[in-house]
């Protein structure tokens, strides 16, 4: 998808990790930005850096996507600024390690609220305008977890399966409209995600991780190319392909072992 001029990109979860690096990718492309996250201090710092380095306009919206009303409040705040969102990057998301029955139900429901409900709401709010203008797009940050059953991280894996299915469906529905939906599905990545998910405990099984910068670059390239799906990293791509042929019972046991904590 070629950028319109001037293009405005809204990025959720932009204060760190993949979201921060995606914001940098679009900034380097001279896109104006709307950065959304809970950490207003980190957002303002990033906004100042991007304004200075790339000479673009950057707006900051502090919002907590665990709250059901947040997507509509974000949409209303964007409207009050008079901005038009050409690209929506649904990056915000989190997960928790542990056995489903032993984890706090409230936190499990917050995963669904952020990873599924907020993503769906923001998409539903901003997509009609893109279709009307016949340009724009949505970049959803999913995970290789969306292709797998997820014992010991059940709700997170299920939420990313939703993102995968929704993204593929919308990509096809929007064919010929000038609007594209891309799903970026990274594997293990160097971010704060693991610290939040594991409460600073370590997995028994350790694997190599890609950098947030590498993952974001791959996602940005896939979006600009109009691709439906991108799984960055040869190992992650191979895992997704092997998952089609390995019995589900074997996949469940393998993932359960991988997600087990010390």
- Rounded Cα distance between 106 and 11, Å, is 26
Burial of 248 (0-12, 13-18, 19+ CB in 10 A): exposed
Q: In the annotation, is 156 catalytic?
A: yes
- Rounded Cα distance between 172 and 79, Å, is 28
Tell me the three-class secondary structure of 33-83, residue by residue.
EEEEECCHHHHHHHHHHHHHHHCCCEEEEECCCCCCCHHHHHHHHHHHHCC
C-beta of residue 168 within 8 angstroms of C-beta of residue 154: no
Active-site hit among 156, 157, 200, 258: 156
C-beta of residue 138 within 8 angstroms of C-beta of residue 87: yes
In the structure encoding, which two tokens stand for residue 91, read together? 């990056």
- Rounded Cα distance between 109 and 123, Å, is 20
In the structure encoding, which two tokens stand for residue 227, read together? 């691709």
In the structure encoding, which two tokens stand for residue 258, read together? 């991988």
Residue with tokens 């952020």: 114
Q: Which residues are catalytic?
A: 156
């Amino acid at each position: 998808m070629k950028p319109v001029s001037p293009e405005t990109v809204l990025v959720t979860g932009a204060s760190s990790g993949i979201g921060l690096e995606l914001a940098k990718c679009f900034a380097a492309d001279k896109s104006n930005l709307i950065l959304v996250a809970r950490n207003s201090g980190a957002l303002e710092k990033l906004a100042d850096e991007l304004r200075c380095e790339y000479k673009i306009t950057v707006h900051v919206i502090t919002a907590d996507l665990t709250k059901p009303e947040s997507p509509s409040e974000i949409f209303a705040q964007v409207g009050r600024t008079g901005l038009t969102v050409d690209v929506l990057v649904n990056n915000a998301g989190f997960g928790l390690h542990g056995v489903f029955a032993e984890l706090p139900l409230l936190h499990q429901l917050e995963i669904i609220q952020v990873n599924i409900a907020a993503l769906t709401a923001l998409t539903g709010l901003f997509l009609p305008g893109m279709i009307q203008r016949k340009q724009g797009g949505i970049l959803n940050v999913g995970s290789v977890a969306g292709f797998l059953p997820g014992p010991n991280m059940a709700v997170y894996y299920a939420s990313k399966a939703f993102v995968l299915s929704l993204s593929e469906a919308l990509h096809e529905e929007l064919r010929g409209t000038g609007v594209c939906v891309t799903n970026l599905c990274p594997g293990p990545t160097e971010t704060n995600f693991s610290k939040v998910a594991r409460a600073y405990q370590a997995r028994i099984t350790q694997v190599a991780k890609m950098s947030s910068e590498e993952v974001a670059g791959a996602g940005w390239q896939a979006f600009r190319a109009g691709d439906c799906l991108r799984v960055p990293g040869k190992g992650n791509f191979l895992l997704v392909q092997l998952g089609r042929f390995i019995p589900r019972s074997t996949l469940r046991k393998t993932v359960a072992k991988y997600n087990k904590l010390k």
